[in-house]
Amino acid sequence: MRLRVEGIKKQFENKEVLKGASFTFEQGKIYGLIGRNGAGKTTFFNCLNEDILVDEGSYVLEDNGVTRPLQAEDLGYVLSTPVVPEFLTAREFLKFFLDINKNRLKDTKSIDEYLEFMKIKEEDRDKLLKDYSHGMKNKVQMLVNFIANPMVLLLDEPLTSFDVIVADEMKRLLREMKNDHIIIFSTHIMELALDLCDEIVILNEGILTEIPKQNLDNTQYKDRIINALKGEENDSDI
């Protein structure tokens, strides 16, 4: 399975954020999406998730030469600022999520098994989500996306609010998941991208460009990424 993005353009008033962004993302890889602040990484995700409409361009799923539109159930989106129903407890939210999706979810577990899996303590499971920390809300947001098991998973700065141990567990889980998914991981932390991701894709000046690692060590590779972000790496270098 592949996610083929072709010529995405998006402009806000006089600012052109995406200027024909094109790329093909393949199943079985974690892609690190890197760009400077304001480069349009979240805008790109919001376009794929259809939270905002593109001005031009398309995005489709392709499987053995057959293409079809990207649908809501194909896509999971973990936002950098988690959005959860704060008037519910974690247990109530998970029950609601499982109930409304029961016809399409397979091999579901009990609520407590899911909460244990995400390392949410028993004493916190019946607390209102409004009383959760940012990191705990992010755990809940990640959990429902993992349960939904979409083909394409968009992760917008998902690990920055976790402590070291939980972040390491999430990285392990993403590595285990990647064979059956297309994972695009937006981050501004270079070391995290180099550690976790199979491919690095730069969003710079509204265009997506892959930076191949080839035979470079991490220091050389990091230098190439930084040069690309500065606009100092030309097509012959890439």
The pLDDT assigned to 233 comes to: 63
What pLDDT is attached to residue 145? 92
Global pTM exceeds 0.75: yes
pLDDT by residue (tens digit) across 24-60? 999 999 999 999 888 999 999 999 999 999 999 999 9
For the stretch 201-230, pLDDT in tens is 999 999 999 998 776 677 888 888 888 888
pLDDT at position 238 = 40
Q: What is the pLDDT of residue 174?
A: 92
Closest CA to 41 of 211, 213, 208: 208
- The pLDDT, as a whole number, for residue 215 is 65
Instruction: Give the other-Cβ count within 10 Å of 209's Cβ.
Output: 17
> With a cut of 70, which residues of the chain have pLDDT below it?
215-216, 232-238
- pLDDT value, residue 234: 52
What architecture is the 2-80+151-237 domain classified under in CATH?
A: 3-Layer(aba) Sandwich (3.40)
